[in-house]
Amino acid sequence: MKRNAVGALLSLALLASTVIGCASGGKTGGTAAAPANAEPEYPTKQIEVTVPFAAGGGTDLYARAMSEYLSKEWGQPLVVVNKPGAGGATATQAVLKQGTKDGYSVIVQSVSAVSGLIAGQKNLPFTIDDYQFIARTTNDPLAYIVKADAPWKDMKEFSEWAKNNTDQLTFASNGPTAIASFGVIQWMDSIGADYSKAKLVVTNGSADALPKVAGGHIILGVQGVSEASNLVKAGKLKILGIASDKRSPFFPDVPTLEEQGISGVTASFWVGVSMPAGVPDYAVKKWESSIQKMHEDSAFQDKLKSMNVQGIFQNSAEYKKHVEEEVARFVDIVKKKNLVK
What does the angle CA 141 – CA 147 – CA 149 come to, to the nearest 5 degrees?
130
Looking at every residue in the chain, the average pLDDT score rounds to: 90
pTM: 0.81
Rounded to whole angstroms, the Cα distance separating 96 from 98 reads 6
Per DSSP, the three-state class of 134 is strand
Nearest to 189 by CA among 78, 264, 110, 269: 264
16 pLDDT higher than 70: no
Q: Which residues contact 231 (CB under 8 A, 6 or more apart)?
A: 210, 211, 214, 237
Q: Give pLDDT tens digits for 141-158.
A: 999 999 999 999 999 999
Count helices and strands in the chain by DSSP H and E runs: 11, 10
Rounded to whole angstroms, the Cα distance separating 321 from 66 reads 23
Helical axes 281-296 vs 58-74, angle rounded to 10°: 100
Q: Give pLDDT tens digits for 47-81.
A: 999 999 989 888 999 999 999 999 999 999 999 99
Phi and psi for 12 in degrees, rounded to 5? Answer: -65, -40
Q: Which residues contact 313 (CB under 8 A, 6 or more apart)?
A: 135, 136, 137, 291, 292, 295
Q: Could you tell me the domains of the chain?
A: 47-140+269-337 (3.40.190.150), 141-260 (3.40.190.10)
